[in-house]
Amino acid sequence: MFTGIIEEIGVIREMRFLSEGAIITVAASVTPAGMKVGNSICVNGVCLTVTRVGSDFFLCDISAETLLRSNFKQAKQGMRINLERAMAVGDRLGGHFVQGHVDGVGRLIAKTATGDGFQMSFEFPNALERYLVFKGSIAVNGISLTISALEKGSFSASIIPLTLKSTNLNLLAIGDLVNLEVDILGKYFERFFDLGLAQSPRSGSKISPEYLKSQGF
């Protein structure tokens, strides 16, 4: 489990594509500290398992499924990527719960300067629309962001200067692909309703799947 608060920007030292999947070597200075083989790490929003670690680098295997569902299929040597180690019990949760399970690939469609920061807009797959909520959370390349505007097929987020400096958002160009992970709470609520497990026990209650949908949930 992660928080969406990026610890550092790493650099892809090598991206070796195999017949099934790939092996990624990442150069980093902060995240390898205390890292062990078998640890989880969030790499550009994707939860990967460390298979080898050195003082300033680590390796991870990438499955064919992950390549298919993320922007790793376009990764190359020298690409700068967001890194976050798994949260420890007792840590403050500064962002939101991020699993590193990519739900879809989005695309940057607009980037407008607002003071020292930017308003960035992203196109998203239609299948994710039901999980996005105005002022709700979403992970973009592993970064915990708040949706500040929600349109049909796109959402926007206000990016403060610190986030621009601490992540690879400032390197994105119009048309670049990003990994998206929606808030897990929405997926659980949907599943509970699908299974009929979220019905109110109170007789005559107005709470129902139809009511919640009408209220934007």
Number of Cβ within a 10 Å radius of residue 135: 9
From the list 113, 149, 152, the residue with the least C-alpha distance to 134 is 149
The answer on 205 and 169 residing in a single domain is no
The answer on 178 and 190 residing in a single domain is no
Per-residue pLDDT of 132-191, as tens digits, reads 999 999 999 999 999 999 999 999 999 999 999 999 999 999 999 999 999 988 887 777
- 207 pLDDT band (50/70/90 cuts)? low
- 17 pLDDT band (50/70/90 cuts)? very high
**90 falls within a domain:** no
Supply angle C-alpha 133, 136, 141, rounded to 5: 105
pTM for the structure as a whole: 0.87
The CATH number covering residue 168 comes to 2.40.30.20
**1 falls within a domain:** no
The answer on 76 and 18 residing in a single domain is yes
Whole-angstrom CA distances from 164 to 56, 67, 118, 150 are 23, 26, 8, 21
Number of domain units in the chain: 3
Instruction: List, in order, residues 6 or more apart from 215 with CB less than 8 Å away.
Output: none
The answer on 175 and 121 residing in a single domain is yes
State the average pLDDT for the chain.
Answer: 91
The answer on 128 and 68 residing in a single domain is no
Q: Looking at the predicted structure, is the pLDDT value of residue 209 above 70?
A: no
The answer on 45 and 23 residing in a single domain is yes
The answer on 133 and 120 residing in a single domain is yes
Domain with 165 in it: 104-182
